[in-house]
Amino acid sequence: MNTEFVKERLANVTVNIGDTKVIAVRPANGEADVQLVLAEHIQRPSSRRAVGNFMASAKSFGGNSAQPVWLSATFADLEKLLPQALPQARQCVEDQDYVSLDIRNPMLGEARLRLEITETHKPSSWEEANLEKSAKQDGQGNYLHSNGMAIFTNADVVIGDPRHTFIPHTGMTKDVYELDYTTGDQVSSEATEQSAEKAQSKEKELTA
């Protein structure tokens, strides 16, 4: 499977501010038949750093980049909820590779599908083992931190308006191994999110 597909797709597809797009579909393992790839520009809290304005048009800085998220689906549910994606979904399974889609602002009932960002100091197993790739950066090779704690960014697809959780950074460093993070077993309130976290971590591994 082409692990660079999503990066290449994001570089060539237009995702306007305020829009969410389904940009691709790929075959999946387990109970899911496929995974849809959704992308959206996330409005993050404003920063006082002027570089955010003067580098806004640079893709490497992140000003023009949209956040991708993978959403698992079965053929049966896809046919009911997003039937326009079904032909490409069947094709991706046949090809065993990504297939492009371009569906703007998909709806689930009366509400739009949106991307929701949750920042945390607690990495997943993959993130902990791959700090150089997973810890939050500024696009200029600096790792952002909050009082010495590394920040990890996770994304999910939600129904309706997102409720983002951002951690304001207090500084930056070139050496990610200077930073600390939260460890220990998942608490019970997080247990229901483990399967989604595992899927997103796998995609980070494939596309990093």
Mean pLDDT of all residues in 85-93: 98
- Strand locations in 56-200, DSSP E? 67-73, 99-104, 107-108, 111-120, 143-146, 149-150, 152-159, 171-173
State the burial class of residue 147 (Cβ atoms within 10 Å of its Cβ: 0-12, 13-18, 19+).
Answer: exposed
Phi and psi for 90 in degrees, rounded to 5?
-65, -40
Residue 87 has pLDDT above 90, yes or no: yes
What's the distance, CA 30 to chain centroid? 21
Task: List the end-to-end C-alpha distance of the chain, in Å, as a whole number.
Answer: 14
Q: What is the pLDDT of residue 112?
A: 97
Q: What is the pLDDT of residue 194?
A: 47
Q: Which residues have C-beta within 8 Å of that of residue 202, sequence separation ≥ 6?
A: 126
Residue 25 has pLDDT above 50, yes or no: yes
Mean pLDDT of all residues in 6-23: 94
- Percent pLDDT > 90 in the chain is 71
Q: What is the pLDDT of residue 196?
A: 47
**How far is Cα 165 from Cα 153, in angstroms, rounded to an integer?**
9
Mean pLDDT of all residues in 34-45: 91
Q: What is the pLDDT of residue 46?
A: 63
Q: Which of 14-18, 50-54, 184-188 has the lowest mean pLDDT?
A: 184-188
Q: What is the pLDDT of residue 43?
A: 80
Mean pLDDT of all residues in 116-145: 94
Residue 186 has pLDDT above 70, yes or no: no
Q: What is the pLDDT of residue 190?
A: 43
CB count within 10 Å of CB 183 equals 9
**How far is Cα 15 from Cα 152, in angstroms, rounded to an integer?**
24
Whole-number Cα distances in Å, 189 to 3, 38, 116, 186: 33, 26, 18, 8
pTM tops 0.85, yes or no = no
Mean pLDDT of all residues in 82-94: 98
Q: Which residues have C-beta within 8 Å of that of residue 63, sequence separation ≥ 6?
A: 52, 55, 56, 57
As a whole number, the mean pLDDT across the chain is 86
